[in-house]
Amino acid sequence: MKIVVIGGTGLIGTKLVKTLTEAGHEVLAASPGTGVNAVTGEGLNEALKGAEVVVDVANSPSFEQKAVLEFFETSGRNLIVAELIAGVKHHVALSVVGTDRPNANTYFQAKLVQEKLIKESGIPYSILHATQFFEFVGGIAQAGIQGDQIHVSPAQFQPIASDDVVAALADITLGAPLNGTTEVAGPEKIGLDEIVRQYLSLKNDNGKVITDIHAPYFGAEINDQSLVPGDRPRLGQETYADWIRKPGNLR
């Protein structure tokens, strides 16, 4: 089966291409670097010829409000048109737990626009909502810097190893379309402030973390319901403590 992975050279895409290829499928890693650009449309029609499944794991290079919305809206529309021409039978998209929650940040709002396009396209689809990746903890710390302090919300979240996200994506890709949304999350809940403290301690960074209930999460205030999955998510196997011990993961 031919599978095209949009964003196939990124963190998730690279691992997913490897997993699906090892399972015996013909997999094309599509990205601007390989001559396929979902935003401009360059190379899309050619890449999708003969494809049964398209998996979209591409991410916006900018989180600025206008730029991120334009990225997901434009790439989403272009993908749908190309898939309809190619007769793609299953569209799989990676999105984020929390896109449909009140007061979602601008990135989540842009992902929600992307999801709406997929649902209205008429193409059989599956959407996977994942919680934040362990690889993203450093970015959370960086975003909270205020002078010589790091302000972070104590809101609970349930971060996950990217390998566990890839395993879930691979199963969905090779299965029948859900025509709906499912969730995957890490095995443990933890406060954002607590995990940032763990991260900085392991890096021997003396940055002072301030627990601040009003600290925004990339532009929006959050609470214990903002970033956690619903009642029956698929759970990853790897804990943050185990993941962080692996060589190369602490960056």
Indicate if the pLDDT at residue 93 is higher than 90. Answer: yes
Residue that has been written with the tokens 């627990």 in this structure: 211
151, part of any domain: no
Q: What is the pLDDT of residues 105-136, one digit of tens each?
A: 899 999 999 999 999 999 999 999 999 999 99
Instruction: Read off the pLDDT of each residue in 19-47 and give the average, rounded to a whole number.
Output: 97
149, part of any domain: no
Per the CB < 8 A criterion, the answer to whether 163 and 15 are in contact is: yes
> What is the Cα–Cα distance from 55 to 141, expressed in whole angstroms?
30
CB proximity list for 69: less than 8 A, separation 6 or greater: 106, 109, 110, 113
User: How far from 114 is each of 58, 72, 96, 120, 200, CA to CA, in Å?
Assistant: 12, 6, 11, 10, 34
* Full-model pTM: 0.94
Positive or negative torsion for Cα 110, 179, 11, 200: positive
SS3 182: strand
250, part of any domain: no
Give the structural domain span for 113: 2-134+159-188+228-237
118, part of any domain: yes
Tally of domains within the chain:
1
216, part of any domain: no
152, part of any domain: no
Share of the chain above pLDDT 90, in %: 88
Confidence (pLDDT) at 203: 87
Q: Which two tokens stand for residue 217?
A: 């999460």
Positive or negative torsion for Cα 218, 223, 228, 232: negative
Instruction: Read off the pLDDT of each residue in 187-198 and give the average, rounded to a whole number.
Output: 96
Q: Which two tokens stand for residue 18?
A: 């490897």
207, part of any domain: no
148, part of any domain: no
CB proximity list for 92: less than 8 A, separation 6 or greater: 53, 54, 55, 56, 125, 126, 127, 128, 169, 172, 173
Q: Which CATH number belongs to the domain containing residue 45 in this structure?
A: 3.40.50.720
> What is the Cα–Cα distance from 118 to 87, expressed in whole angstroms?
15
